[in-house]
Amino acid sequence: MKSLQIKLKKNQTEVDFVSLESITHLEINGENLKSFSSQFLNSLLNSNVESLSIKAQKTIEFDFLNPILSQIKTLSILKIKASCSKKIEHWPDKFTSSLKILTLQGLELITCPLFLLTQNNIVDLDLSRNKISQLPDDFIQLTNLSRLNLDQNQFSKLPLVLTKMKSINHISLDQNIFDDDEKAKIQRELNIWP
């Protein structure tokens, strides 16, 4: 297993070409991330990267990520973290089927992205540090999901769909806006204390 960390310079918004031959773990850090050079994108699409972590202190523009998310056949871990993000207009229709762990943290999401509902292969999902206040009933389709992090969102009520999901063995709901009655209900229903 070889790892590579790419740190963008202060005003750099594009990842330049880097050969990813034999790289399995890739981490990209920067202030603003807007694109990959075409050479880097080709290298990434033809790589054996299993784990991709993208961290931005300010913004990430997502349109350039779409081909990556659906075409890297070996990608099993994807972590995207930002302090804020440009509104995500176009999620990919589906991610690669090998994806097992997905983090979409700090992206100012107000709803659960609908593409997630088709990602039955995901076992670990982190949607923390967003602005989500409810989950759709179709969230129950994530039948392999065993870990769910919804910390620091805008939940005031326990999403009922969570009480029906038998595969989940770890749920984190810390720092939401539950009142004391709702916290007691969550403790009864899920045996956790938010």
Q: Which CATH number goes with the domain that contains 24?
A: 3.80.10.10
Provide the pLDDT for residue 174.
94
Strands 25-33 and 14-15 turn out to be unpaired
For residues 144 and 167, give the distance between their C-alpha atoms in angstroms, rounded to a whole number. 6
Distances in whole angstroms, Cα of residue 127 to Cα of each of 74, 90, 149, 180? 22, 18, 6, 23
Provide the pLDDT for residue 79.
93
> What domain range includes position 154?
3-190
Provide the pLDDT for residue 93.
62
For residues 149 and 102, give the distance between their C-alpha atoms in angstroms, rounded to a whole number. 11
Provide the pLDDT for residue 124.
98
* Average pLDDT, consecutive stretches of 10 residues, N- to C-terminus, the chain (194 residues): 88 80 92 83 89 84 72 89 66 75 91 84 96 95 96 95 92 94 88 68
> Is the Cβ–Cβ distance between 126 and 107 less than 8 Å?
no
Interior angle at CA 127, CA 97 and CA 81, nearest 5: 85
For residues 170 and 178, give the distance between their C-alpha atoms in angstroms, rounded to a whole number. 19
Domain count, the chain: 1
- Roughly how many angstroms between the first and final C-alpha of the chain, as a whole number? 37
| Other beta carbons within 10 Å of 124 | 16
For residues 37 and 14, give the distance between their C-alpha atoms in angstroms, rounded to a whole number. 6
Give the contacts of 42 (CB within 8 A, at least 6 positions apart): none
For residues 147 and 191, give the distance between their C-alpha atoms in angstroms, rounded to a whole number. 15
Q: What is the pTM of this model?
A: 0.89
